[in-house]
Amino acid sequence: MSARLNALLLAVVSLAQEPGNLLDRIRNSHLPPEQRDALAASFSAKDYARMEQILDGQSSQSGEVQALLGAVAFLCGHTDRAALAFRKADAATPLGEPDRFTWAMALLNLGDARSARDQLTRLSAAHPDRPLYLYWLARIDYDQRLYEAAVVKLKRVIQLDPSSSRAYDNLGLAFDMMGEYEEARNAFLKAVELNRKLPEPSPWPPHNLGYLLLRLDLPKEAEAALRESLKYDPRLAISRYHLGRVLEAEGRDADAIPEYQSAAALDPKSPEPLYSLGILYRRSQHLAEADQAFAEYRKRRAASASQ
């Protein structure tokens, strides 16, 4: 699971497990008063590890305790424990909506897309007007290369939530994989427009637009989009790499070299920036630097193959 997806999963689950609701659940639980107070204090301090320890120490294995443990384990990043706890809780008493969604996200994080789809489908059937569940079903479709199915779901998400930059961005990705480049471009442009209005814009919509424009041989437009991506996250290695490719395509090798260098440094596992860097060094007759770049490229390729 990518770091980008991990962060997104945690963010959406944090919204689903609203702090007030989870705190109310703790205070209204059937746990002993001292345990409830300790959990509430740890929650207020965002000490989720301590919460997990407290719940682990409970003699009761009721569905209530297991559901709380699942929510807390997910917040700790222990998605395997979260999935197991939710499974036990659901066997005792059917989970509520936030817990079932968190369970689905834990399963998705663990790579169990089939079980995640089952839980999300159940949620979407019970709440057909909630775009969140359709969005994640579309994400699973996309990952399984069911692009047409993803497009159908994402269009419905956009009907339900016209301001969703994520939905437009993923719609663009699906159209891109289908070879519908004009449709993809329009979706990305809308995603970028909506993304700019967010309190914390994501670097991904402008990156995805820029990468498409690069492949469509529109370097000026691609450069503007990729620079916007880097404005939101200067450390996004893939935007640095694709900006380097744009600058190289424009014949600006001297400007492309530092972008490739930054991309290689920011993502120590990615070999592609080093290959491009080696090509530019060789072209400019910096042969020692080219040899060094190609050697590191081969090292990273070998490490990637072994994994």
pLDDT for 62: 87
**In one letter, which amino acid is 110?**
L
CA dihedral (10, 13, 19, 24) positive or negative: negative
pLDDT above 90 for 30? no
Do the beta carbons of residue 117 and residue 135 sit within 8 Å?
no
Q: What pLDDT is stored for residue 152 in this prediction?
A: 98
Helix axes 237-249, 272-283, angle to 10 degrees: 30
Closest CA to 239 of 266, 217, 274, 219: 266
Q: 218 by DSSP, 3-state: which?
A: coil
What mean pLDDT is predicted for residues 270-277?
A: 96
- Which one, of 93, 99, 81, 105, lies nearest residue 7 by Cα? 105
Please give the mean pLDDT across all residues of the chain: 91
Output the DSSP codes for 42-92.
HHHTT-HHHHHHHHHT-S---HHHHHHHHHHHHHTT-HHHHHHHHHHHHHH
Has residue 82 got a pLDDT over 60?
A: yes
Q: In the predicted model, is pLDDT for residue 253 greater than 80?
A: yes
Calpha distance 124→207 (Å, rounded): 30
Q: Specify the pLDDT at position 11.
A: 53
The pLDDT score that the predictor gives to residue 19 is: 46
Angle subtended by helix axes 219-232 and 237-249, to nearest 10: 160
| Count of helices and strands (H, E) across the chain | 18, 0
Per-residue confidence band for 58, with pLDDT thresholds at 50, 70 and 90: confident
Average pLDDT over residues 293-299: 96
pLDDT > 50? residue 36: yes
Whether the pLDDT of residue 44 is over 90: the answer is no
pLDDT tens, residue by residue, 108-133 = 999 999 999 999 999 999 999 999 99
Residue 179's φ and ψ, nearest 5 degrees, are 80, 15
Determine the average pLDDT of the residues in 211-224. 97
Tell me the C-alpha to C-alpha distance, in Å, between residue 86 and each of 43, 75, 132, 228, 236: 19, 13, 20, 41, 34
Enter the pTM of the model: 0.88
Mean pLDDT of 87-109: 93
pLDDT band, residue 21 (cuts 50/70/90):
confident
Q: What is the pLDDT of residues 59-68, one digit of tens each?
A: 677 888 899 9
Which domains are assigned to the chain? 1-110 (no CATH), 128-234 (1.25.40.10), 247-307 (1.25.40.10)
The average pLDDT across 73-97 equals 92
Q: What value does the mean pLDDT take over residues 70-88?
A: 91
| C-alpha of 245 from chain center | 24
The terminus-to-terminus CA distance of the chain in angstroms comes to 14
Decide if 100 contacts 119 (C-beta within 8 A). yes
Contact 164, 158 (CB under 8 A): yes
What is the arithmetic mean of pLDDT over 57-77? 85
Q: 145: alpha, beta or left, given left = phi > 0 and alpha = psi -120 to 50?
A: left
Indicate if the pLDDT at residue 46 is higher than 90.
Answer: no
pLDDT at 13: 53
Q: Which residue has the tokens 């790499």?
A: 241
